[in-house]
Chain A
Amino acid sequence: MRNEPTITPEQVAEHGLTEDEYQTILNVLGREPNLTELGIFSVMWSEHCSYKSSKVWLKTLPTEAPWVICGPGENAGVVDIGDGKAAIFKMESHNHPSFIEPYQGAATGVGGILRDVFTMGARPIANMNALRFGAPEDDKTRHLVSGVVAGIGGYGNCVGVPTVGGEVNFDPAYNGNILVNAMTVGLADADRIFYSAAAGIGNPVVYVGSKTGRDGIHGATMASAEFDDATEEKRPTVQVGDPFTEKLLIEACLELMATDTIVAIQDMGAAGLTCSSVEMADKGGVGFDLDIDKVPQREAGMTPYEVMLSESQERMLIVLRPGTEAQAQAIFDKWQLDFAVVGHVSDSGRFTGRVAGEVVFDIPVRPLVEESPEYERPWVEPKAPAALAPVTAAMEHMAALKSLLAGPHLSSRRWVWEQYDQTVMADTVRKPGGDAAIVRIHGSDRGLAIATDCTPRYCRAEPRQGGAQAVAEVWRNITSVGARPLAITDCLNFGNPERPEIMGEFVGCIQGMGEACRTLDFPVVSGNVSLYNETHGQAILPTPAIGGIGVLDDLERHADLALRRDGDNLILIGETAGHLGQTIYLRQLLNRGDGPPPPVDLTVERRNGDFVRALIAAGRVDTCHDLSDGGLLVAAAEMAMAGDTGLDLNGPEDAGFWFGEDQGRYLLAVPEADTAEILQLAEQQQVPAQSVGRTGGEALTLNAGAPISLAELRRAHEAWLPDYMRND
């Protein structure tokens, strides 16, 4: 081993390792590490790679169902969608890099999640994203929105995967820590899934894709530290994405996967070559012996430390069957990508790197993974919110509706999604703007429904309810297009877990999510945790973003929110108690954030959803919208605007009825001739259902008041975001 200066306590601290953690390293090695080894331990034991604060709780989430082929632990989750096909999907955060350099941060976030999915053998078929920005008034917000949206589009559009939906929220809690959560869904043959466990002593370890440069060194440790004012100086550590190379890498990998050459494959994401090597070796119970000089390098004079910790993008590591190197290389040559045999699988159980034959690091694999710290962070039970103080209506209901539709929370996101290619691949059935996006399973009459959701203000007020609500709303969104919900991925964004109240939010959200997943048969198959989203001690709202998928067995039988006929009855499904605590109505129009969030009754949620889905699957309902932010009146207006068909609404006068955010509810538009029967069916199944209006005309009318034209509503709804972004 090369002689290197001894490690100082400062270096240990700079690598984000505690004294105890460093002591464990000394025990594992039986000697002092050199700098490269210290770097390897530091990235492997960072929060981002080791899940040291969250592991204990993540284990409590349900991850199994008969249709789950592969749950958490691999690059992405895999579910059986029938007909010999599998959907592979995951959501991942790229929060810190996007705050520092919004275009490249968001772009490389998309690139990373795409690789997680095609690594497992899937062709990516849809992208989604969940974005949270600071208050619109904050100086940085406009610039961040502009850069993030352009970055997501710039990458996804170029690789030719449609971005079919997502969400955009604004809240001052994200002023110093925006959230960029990207999700990819891919399609594979169920019997052609590729995993990462290395095997076969002596098998070649192959590096493909882009060359390695000094990009993103310490990216993984940066993503696990709080921000301070010096963070903006850290710009050079942000990686730059090359979507063109990614596109070539997708095609080359899928071409290679069609041959019989791959033993194991893994993308190089956070902590690059280190993390991918260690995970492949550990899963296979083998060692990895790497020749660092063989790694294709973009810059001269890179040290082993830099090569091992680089987060250069668009790279993959593959263990090949012996003797297939030439066949594999021909494919990568065709796509003009780097291909290099950089080492071999060994029986040493050690992760060893050499430069010119000399060992530069040598670490036992098992302890590097298993001795990684795991913390049961102390947490406190979140304080239950006080009861809601009395609410006086802010203004007349129609004026309130117009104001909400024209505000930052509920205005149209068209400005965002028109910068995303939503229709490339020619299989997009339902574009952004509905409850769930739908993409056709290529070459079939079946479809996948995809949705993302989370209501962070509910999670802050009552984490357990908020966690359950996030899962339930995704399930409801998928149900409201008629699809059968299958599984979710989660992207858990929280503040500093070393603070017991933040850890309490984390625990509460996980508990709520777990309950919802169990009751709704909606297991977690993949996910990601992003902690330390704090600046100057100000944490973000707890944001467990959920992405879910469902399957549609017959594309002919799906629903969307657009009213399509005059004379239909608008049927409200679900109980309306008029819950105003934590609503958008309260927040935007009364500037209040008090009260508990709406309670989630998971049994009722399931019963109501199963009823609605059965009606759509039977071809009896083609128009459906779930009720969420803004409540009944907002949902009804969205249906009217989408279908360019007016509505005459009738019901009680109280604000809670029209703007409450009670859960487990849907609006259906049903022809007059079918109405009585559907209401009767609902009664038989103990599903609350009532008629609240009738379609027709070109305006919205409430309780025979003054009508408001759809054109006027649409102008208000469409104007806010483009006006806000005018001078970006």
Chain B
Amino acid sequence: MKASVIVFPGSNCDRDVQVALASAIGGTPDTVEMVWHGDSEMAKTDLIVLPGGFSYGDYLRSGAMSARSPVMREVVARAEQGVAVLGICNGFQVLTEAGLLPGALLPNAGLKFVCRDVQIRVENSQTLFTNGYQQGQTLRIPVAHHDGQYFVEPETLAEMRERDQIAFRYCDADDGRAANPNGSIDDIAGVFNDRKSVLGLMPHPERAADAIHGGTDGQGLLNSLVSALS
């Protein structure tokens, strides 16, 4: 399987996801290709990852400027051909800004950056991103974001539910705190496009992919991709 990680100015989880993905594939980090945002061409690839970070400083709106960078025209074209695209955190924001996923990500309802472990429920395990999980399985994965409040018009949300486009929902409050860390509508933590070939999520699976992280629940997502795309 060939995977590519897009690097925007201000991306800061590019290396993290490269390392985790390479480990899932079973290679050294350089088996995952890094693609600079200014490139308008990209080698053939099976998976495109838009990493977390603060591309363009989150200025104007999170993800807004990256979504208009040269490489994104190519990403949109590949997505239309059915190439798998994964957006994590800032990558999710870019995907909504680029129109590859419905909705938008607003500042957290608490108005503060939030970095903590959350529990999320797998809402659809029949996809190339989630085939390694059980339907309804609960995962413990960290979030770290300021603009993670998912918003979508009610009519669109109804359609998304009907088409099983909800990938993950925040669930199971612990420590006496709300399960939903950012006020997302319908507790949504991640969504698919209609074809289930594009996934965006706020939690960081690459930060729960190694024993030293204190949990490996994110590894399943990367393994699912490797088994589906290899």
The answer to whether B54 touches A418, judged by C-beta atoms less than 8 angstroms apart, is: no
Q: Are B10 and A419 in contact (CB under 8 A)?
A: no
CA distance A190 to B62 in the complex (A): 38
- Chain A minimum-CB-distance residue to B56: A244
Contact with B along A484-525 (1 / 0, CB 8 A): 000000000000000000000000000000000000000000
Segment touching B, from A275-283, A402-410, A421-429: A421-429
Number of interface residues of B (CB under 8 A): 33
Q: Is B153 an interface residue (CB 8 A)?
A: no
- Check: A173 CB closer than 8 A to any chain B CB: no
Q: Are B16 and A248 in contact (CB under 8 A)?
A: no
Contact of B54 among A247, A417, A555, A714 (CB under 8 A): A247
Query: How would residues 156 to 197 of chain B score, 1 for a CB under 8 Å from any chain A CB and 0 otherwise?
Result: 000000000000000000011000000000000000000000
Contacts of B213 in A (CB 8 A): 423, 426, 428
Q: Which of A's residues lie within 8 Å of B, judged by CB?
A: 150, 153-154, 157-160, 242-245, 247-248, 334-336, 417-429, 440, 555, 714-715, 718
User: In the complex, how many angstroms separate the beta carbon of B49 from the nearest chain A beta carbon?
Assistant: 14
Q: Are A153 and B54 in contact (CB under 8 A)?
A: no
* Complex CA distance for A150 and B53, rounded to whole angstroms: 17
Known contacts: A158-B10, A244-B56. The answer to whether A425 contacts B16 by CB under 8 A is yes
Q: Are A420 and B54 neighbours in the complex by a CB distance under 8 Å?
A: no
- Stretch of B40-48, B99-107, B112-120 at the chain-chain interface: B112-120
Residues of B with Cβ closer than 8 Å to A? 9-10, 12-13, 15-16, 19-20, 38, 52-54, 56-59, 112-116, 142, 144, 146, 175-176, 204, 206-207, 209-210, 212-213
Distance in angstroms from A225 CB to nearest chain B CB is 33
Q: Is the CB of A424 within 8 A of B112?
A: no
Q: Decide if B212 touches A160 in the complex (CB within 8 Å).
A: no
A154 cross-chain contacts in B, Cβ below 8 A: 113
Report A416 CB to chain B, min CB distance, Å: 11
Q: Looking at the assembled complex, report how far the CB atom of B197 sits from the nearest CB atom of chain A, in whole angstroms.
A: 26
Distance from B11 Cβ to chain A, minimum over Cβ atoms (Å): 8
C-alpha spacing A714/B177, complex, angstroms: 13
Complex CA–CA separation, A718 to B58 (angstroms): 31
Please tell me if the beta carbons of A426 and B113 are within 8 angstroms of each other in the complex: no
Q: Which 4 A-B pairs have the closest CB atoms?
A: A160-B12, A244-B57, A426-B16, A158-B54
The smallest C-beta distance from A176 to any residue of chain B, in angstroms, reads: 27
Question: Which residues in A have their C-beta under 8 angstroms from that of B210?
Answer: 426
* Chain A: minimal CB distance from B7 (Å): 9
Name the A residues within 8 Å of B52 (CB-CB). 424
CB–CB A426/B115 < 8 A: no
The closest CB in chain A to the CB of B15 belongs to A425
What A residues does B20 contact at CB under 8 A?
426
Question: A568: shortest Cβ distance to chain B, in Å?
Answer: 20
B116:A418 contact, CB within 8 angstroms: yes
* Residue in B closest to A243 when the chains form the complex, CB atoms: B57
Min Cβ gap A644→B in Å is 11
Q: Nearest B residue to A123 by beta-carbon distance?
A: B15
Given known A-B contacts A244-B10, A421-B115, A160 and B175 have beta carbons under 8 A apart: no
Q: Are A158 and B58 in contact (CB under 8 A)?
A: yes
Q: Could you say which residues of chain B place their CB within 8 Å of the CB of A428? A: 213
Q: Are B142 and A243 in contact (CB under 8 A)?
A: no
Partner of B115, one of A245, A423, A555: A423
Decide: B12 and A424 in contact? CB cutoff 8 A. yes
Contacts of B175 in A (CB 8 A): 714, 718
Selected contact of A247 from candidates B12, B144, B212, CB within 8 Å: B12
Other A-B contacts than A158-B57, A428-B213, 9 sampled, CB-CB below 8 A, are A157-B54, A247-B9, A334-B38, A336-B9, A424-B13, A425-B16, A426-B16, A426-B210, A715-B176
Assess the B9–A426 pair: CB atoms within 8 A.
no
Q: List 15 A-B contacts (CB under 8 A).
A: A158-B54, A243-B54, A244-B57, A247-B12, A248-B9, A418-B115, A418-B116, A419-B112, A419-B114, A421-B144, A423-B115, A423-B204, A423-B213, A426-B209, A714-B175
| Bound-state Cα–Cα, A428 to B116, Å | 13
> In the complex, what's the smallest C-beta–C-beta distance from B222 to chain A, in angstroms?
12
- Asked if B59 contacts A244 (CB within 8 A), the reply is yes
CB pair A160–B115 under 8 Å, yes or no, is no
- Nearest-CB residue, chain B, relative to A251: B9
The answer to whether A421 touches B113 (Cβ under 8 A) is yes
